[in-house]
């Protein structure tokens, strides 16, 4: 079943296709395709062994040389640094709130730690890449209307705002004001003219790993500087909350505040302990929602490795502190319902997590509200644990990319501030932006109620009801903030 909003977006996309194509062709030099969420780390290696290891490690394993330790208690022992030093190693990063540490220690040292009675799991640290509740009417008054077409990139490049009903929400004066959103990613280029008005600070949790990144900049190593020197986190941030200021573009929730947790390097992905620390940090700052556009399948796969407890604890920690976690489904064209052949018991584990309702998993769509494609091949992952769908773009149709903000510090397109993207990484922030809009309309109602609102008001597509491609449907921002559903 295809809803009227999707049908309208399809008709408008067809009518404007020629104009968009001309504009996109004129700006082809600005193109940046993040089809691997966003760039496969240089030096990535494939590990021999089980099929599960081959699938995940081909995309995520970078030889960091670090070991992730998960303790039985949700704490890091006070004497742990001394224990590691006695083994000839050193502690890289600790996340005491959930009982996790990253250490640099040899194989013998890792084996010694694994044998300790207070340790739950020890393993090589991977680095994933950056791939019903009833609510009454809105309690917060709406502001003045915003016409997203007045932004320079509005008419030609922001089809995705219309597809999710953000244009109607903005026209009704809904802006997500009052919401604080965490971006767990490569950082945010906070001096960007479309992002500076909404930047709320942040931290750099990749800094302890910066010596491992051959393309590091001084900022890469500064724990107090979460500036994005790649592009990925800045693009995510712009989709969520680029300001309505007549410059460039506008985000789904243009008055939401953005908190940056940099957890990724320029070339070595996002070390697991850094990712966990970023989640905990954002939760401690009391964000209303956090966006994790690290490749969703990689994250899921690691959840059900020996490190499962660490991720499970981090998501539960965030949920307990009022934060909704929104994550990308990933771009490998995997059927997540049938991963048992790679990892026995994985489907049941996925179902368990899905039933917990602590994380929303987002799949990607093109302008026609069908699954996103790259050169005609569908890439978005699917499965019954998908919660919602949102725009992730298609390629090689340049006018069908998701356009957003970019970091001028990135190595591929230095100096570029706006460009086009593709991947479920960029579907996810549409849902996170919608969560900010719900907070702006209804107040700080908590992650469970925000998630329920988004799922209840989604535009049902595909099979009637929940399905493996769209989940509960295409996120509908206008309906989520109380505008008439149609």
Please give the span between the terminal C-alpha atoms of the chain, in angstroms, as a whole number. Answer: 13
Q: Which CATH architecture has domain 65-124?
A: 2-Layer Sandwich (3.30)
* Contact partners, residue 136, CB within 8 Å, separation at least 6: none
Q: What pLDDT was estimated at residue 166?
A: 94
What is the percent of the chain with per-residue pLDDT over 90, rounded to a whole number? 55
Output phi, psi for 120, to 5 deg. -90, -45
**pLDDT at res. 396:** 74
Measuring CA to CA, which residue among 388, 346, 342 is closest to residue 365?
388
Q: Are 226 and 278 within 8 A, CB to CB? A: no
Average the pLDDT over 2-17 and give the result: 49
Q: What is the pLDDT of residues 351-394, one digit of tens each?
A: 555 556 678 999 999 998 888 887 777 888 888 889 999 999 88
Q: Which residues are catalytic?
A: 185, 232, 425
Q: Does domain 4-42+130-480 have CATH number 1.10.3720.10?
A: no
What pTM was computed for the model?
0.84
Centre a 10 Å sphere on the Cβ of residue 222 and count the other Cβ atoms it contains: 15
Question: Do 325 and 351 form a contact (C-beta atoms < 8 A)?
Answer: no
* DSSP, residue by residue, 144-164: S---GGGSTTHHHH-HHHHHT
* pLDDT confidence band for 219 (50 / 70 / 90): very high
Q: What is the pLDDT of residues 396-420, one digit of tens each?
A: 777 788 989 999 998 888 888 988 8
- Domain locations in the chain? 4-42+130-480, 65-124
- pLDDT of 33 reads 34
Given this model, what pLDDT does residue 344 score?
53
Residues in a beta bridge with 419:
404
Mean pLDDT, the chain, rounded, equals 80
Q: Confidence band (pLDDT; 50, 70, 90) for 337?
A: confident
Percent residues over pLDDT 70 in the chain: 74
The predicted pLDDT at position 37 comes to 33
Per-residue pLDDT, 32: 35
What gap in Å lies between CA 274 and CA 205, rounded to an integer? 5
């Amino acid at each position: 079943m295809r809803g009227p909003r999707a049908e309208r977006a399809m008709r408008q996309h067809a009518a404007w296709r020629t104009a968009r194509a001309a504009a996109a062709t004129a700006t082809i030099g600005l193109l940046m395709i993040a089809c691997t969420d966003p760039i496969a780390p240089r030096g990535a290696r494939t590990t021999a062994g089980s099929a599960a290891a081959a699938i995940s490690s081909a995309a995520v394993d970078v030889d960091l040389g670090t070991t992730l330790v998960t303790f039985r208690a949700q704490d890091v022992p006070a004497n742990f640094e001394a224990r590691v030093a006695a083994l000839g190693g050193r502690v890289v990063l600790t996340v005491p709130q959930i009982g996790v540490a990253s250490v640099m220690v040899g194989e013998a040292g890792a084996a010694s730690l694994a044998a300790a009675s207070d340790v739950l799991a020890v393993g090589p640290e991977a680095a994933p890449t950056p791939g019903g509740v009833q609510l009454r009417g809105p309690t917060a008054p709406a502001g003045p209307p915003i016409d997203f077409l007045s932004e320079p990139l509005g008419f030609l490049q922001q089809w995705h705002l219309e597809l999710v009903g953000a244009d109607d929400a903005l026209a009704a004066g809904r802006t997500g004001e009052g919401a604080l959103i965490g971006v767990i990613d490569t950082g945010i280029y906070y001096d960007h003219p479309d992002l500076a008005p909404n930047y709320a600070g942040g931290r750099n949790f990749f800094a302890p790993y910066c010596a491992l990144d051959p393309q590091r900049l001084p900022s890469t190593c500064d724990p107090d500087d979460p500036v994005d020197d790649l592009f990925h986190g800045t693009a995510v941030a712009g989709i969520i909350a680029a300001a309505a200021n007549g410059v460039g573009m506008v985000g789904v929730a243009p008055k939401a505040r953005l908190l940056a947790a940099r957890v990724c390097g320029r070339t070595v992905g996002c070390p697991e302990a850094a990712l966990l620390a970023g989640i905990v940090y954002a939760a401690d700052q009391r964000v209303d929602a956090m966006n994790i556009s690290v490749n969703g399948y990689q994250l899921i796969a690691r959840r059900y490795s020996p490190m499962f407890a660490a991720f499970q604890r981090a998501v539960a920690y965030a949920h307990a502190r009022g934060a909704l976690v929104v994550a990308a489904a990933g771009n490998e064209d995997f059927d997540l319902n049938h991963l048992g052949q790679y990892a026995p018991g994985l489907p049941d584990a996925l179902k368990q997590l899905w039933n917990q309702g602590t994380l929303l998993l987002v799949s990607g769509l093109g302008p026609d509200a069908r699954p996103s494609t790259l050169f005609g091949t569908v890439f978005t992952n699917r499965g019954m644990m998908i919660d919602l769908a949102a725009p992730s773009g298609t390629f090689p149709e340049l006018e069908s990319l998701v356009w957003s903000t970019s970091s001028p510090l990135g190595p591929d397109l230095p100096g570029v501030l706006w460009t086009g993207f593709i991947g479920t990484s960029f579907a996810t922030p549409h849902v996170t932006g919608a969560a900010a809009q719900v907070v702006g309309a209804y107040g700080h109602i908590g992650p469970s109620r925000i998630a329920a609102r988004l799922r209840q008001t989604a535009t049902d597509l595909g099979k009637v009801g929940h399905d493996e491609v769209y989940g509960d449907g295409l996120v509908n921002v206008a309906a989520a903030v109380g505008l008439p559903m149609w």
